[in-house]
Structure formats: C-alpha cells, structure tokens
Amino acid sequence: MYGKGSVATMLATVVAIAMAVCGAASAQDFKISHQWRQDTDARDRATRVFVEEATKRDPHLRFRIFPGSTLIANPFAQLDAIQNGSLDMAVFPLTYGASKASELSIAIMPGTVSSLEHAQRLKGTRFHDRLQDVAAKLGFRIVTWWWTPGGFATKSRVIGGPDTVKGLSMRAADPTFESMLRAAGAAVINMPSTEIYSALQSGVLNGALTSAETFVSMRLYEQTQHATVGGAFTLWMLMQPLVMSTAAWDRLTPQQKKVFKAAADRSDEYFLGTQREANERMAAAFTTAGAKVRGLTKEEYVAWVDLAKKTAWVEFANSTAAGKELLDLLTQVE
C-alpha cells in the first residue's frame, strides 16, 4: 500500500510524462529556404523576425533557415520541393510559380498596385482570399503579406516611358511585364534574380526590372549606370511572401496556426517598414556607385499603365482561368 507521499510522487511523475509526451507530439521542425543574402536583405531579416515571434509564442516550434540558395540552388525549384514534401517553407516571389499557375502573375501585374500602402489595403480582402485559393491548388499557403517596390536599371540608357526600352534585352520577372515590354519593342529573357548580375556582366542583358531590395542586396548597381525607381509613381510591385506547404500547415495544431498568424502579422509590420526605405537605399547605392537615378514622371507612368491595360491585363484576363476575377478583385481596392 502506498503512502500519501508515494502517491503524490507518482502523480507528479505521471503529469510530467504526460506533459513531455504532449510536448513531443506538438513539436514541429521546419526548413525555410530563400535566395537572398543573410542579414543583408530584408526578406532574410523579416524571416528571422517571423521565426523569433513564432518560437517566442511556442517553444516547440523549431526552424532552420537556409539563405542564399544554400538548400535549393534554383529559386524556381523551391515550389517543386514544397509540392513534393521535401521543403516546408520558403520566401517565394509568387511570379516564380506562374509557369504552373498563370494566376500567380496577378501578384506583379503592372500598373495595379501603386504603393506599399495600397498593397497593405489588399490584406484580408476578397482578393487576398482568392489568391490563397490559387496557392492552395498548388499545395502551399501564403503565410505573410510582403510586397516589394522596384523599377528599372540599365547599362547605358535612361528609362522613362515605353518608347525608351525599344531594342533593349531585359529581365522583367513575369510574363505580364514581358508582354508589356515586348509591345514596347524590348526583347525579354526570363530568369531568377540570382542570375541578373552575371547576365548584365556578360552582356546577355542590357537592363532589368526587379525590386529595390534586390538591386541593393545583389549589388546590381555595379553593372548598371541608370536607374528609374522611386518618386510618386510605382510601376513594378511584387508580392514575395513567406509560403508554407499545405501538408506542413495541416500538421499544425489550431493553437500553432494562431501562433503562425500572429508571427506573420509582426513580420508584416517589420517588412513594411524596411520597404518604405528600400527605394531611398537603392537610390543612394546607385548614386554612390556613380549611376544616375530618377523616378517616372506622371506622363511616363500613365503611358506605361495604358500599355499594360492593352497588353498584360487583356492577355491575363483572357488566357487565365481566374484571370478576370482576380484582376477585378484587385482593381476594386484603391
């Protein structure tokens, strides 16, 4: 027969074991891949904010971040890895998945998202929900709401309106921009941002469109002499969120999903702050390197948007299953 002390000790042991078992059952490990430089690029830093916020709320969550394409060399292939279950999470420019679901091109559609503030107003809207549906069909979930402004940079020509890109070989990041640039007389080459520097260096490219963040973190100012970025009018705006495989998301407990959402909100706030300064940092980096920097004038911006509506918008609406719906939902939010 056991004494009171023995019973108390046994109960304490049982409780401790039960807690350990529950903790082990809820523990989750996640690999996060992305293509940018550690601690330099805001997309890496915001990922670390997300991880810090998530683990602070739930110590059973464990993350390993693989920056600079150290886990997956080809950034496009991150989606394949998410789909086949070998990767849990990635910072993934949605346009990189456009070859599998052309609806994702809506995340960079020229002339639709005019500012970071405009991008933030889209969070939680029907457009957000519908974009989440598109992602779900590809096997992933959009976790954060990160948008990056950007612009043009070229080796030897100032870019203003559509007439100024004629004859150039350019990287634009998405078929929608490529369609618009072709209509303006440019040749286009599709490649991830990790390949822009060498393509400019070798002469394969004369210029590129990408985010202000990438222009700085990948030192593209070393290979270009003219930049068109900043000012009152933003033509190039791309959503580059932290995404998660649907399988990994479904393994989370209801409480862990709340933790992820809270951590995502905090990382969104942080990332927005970094991008409000991104154009200025890009302009400073280019100026220091001896390049010339300017923004689009109102007339130039309007000319680009008019061209986008006749080319990229029309092609997207007509050739993509949910294209018109997504475009309508996007343009309803001002």
Distance of CA 200 to the CA centre of its chain: 23
pLDDT for 13 beyond 70: no
Residues near 111 by beta carbon (within 8 Å), at least 6 away in sequence: 235, 304, 305, 308, 309, 313
The three-point CA angle 77-82-83 to 5° equals 95
**In which element (H, E) is residue 90 found?**
strand 89-91
Average pLDDT for 52-75? 97
Higher-pLDDT residue of 21 and 31 is 31
pLDDT tens per residue across span 23-33: 444 568 999 99
- As a whole number of angstroms, the distance between CA 117 and CA 238 comes to 13
Task: State CA 110 to chain mean position distance.
Answer: 16
DSSP 8-state symbol, 37:
P
Q: How confident is the model at residue 19 (pLDDT cuts 50, 70, 90)?
A: very low
Query: Domains of the chain, with CATH numbers?
Result: 29-332 (3.40.190.170)
| pLDDT at residue 231 in the model | 85
- Please report, rounded to a whole number, the percentage of residues in the chain having pLDDT higher than 90: 87
pLDDT of residue 26: 54
Q: What pTM was computed for the model?
A: 0.88
Percentage of residues of the chain with pLDDT beyond 70? 92
Ramachandran bin of 176, using left for φ above 0, alpha for ψ from -120 to 50, beta for the remaining angles: alpha
Q: How confident is the model at residue 11 (pLDDT cuts 50, 70, 90)?
A: very low
Q: Tell me how far apart the alpha carbons of residues 124 and 330 are, in angstroms, rounded to a whole number.
A: 12
Amino acid 232: pLDDT? 87
Average pLDDT of the chain to the nearest whole number: 91
Write the pLDDT tens digit of every residue in 79-121: 999 999 999 999 999 999 999 999 999 999 999 999 999 999 9
| Residue 8 pLDDT greater than 50, yes or no | no
Q: How many residues does the chain have?
A: 334
Treating both helix axes as pointing N-terminal to C-terminal, what angle do 323-332 and 126-137 enclose, rounded to 10 degrees?
Answer: 150
Q: How far apart are CA 175 and CA 230, in angstroms?
A: 23
Averaged over 19-40, what is the pLDDT?
74
Buried b (16+ CB within 10 A) or exposed e, 104-119: bbbbbbbbbbbebeeb
Sign of the torsion formed by the C-alpha atoms of 208, 80, 34 and 26:
positive
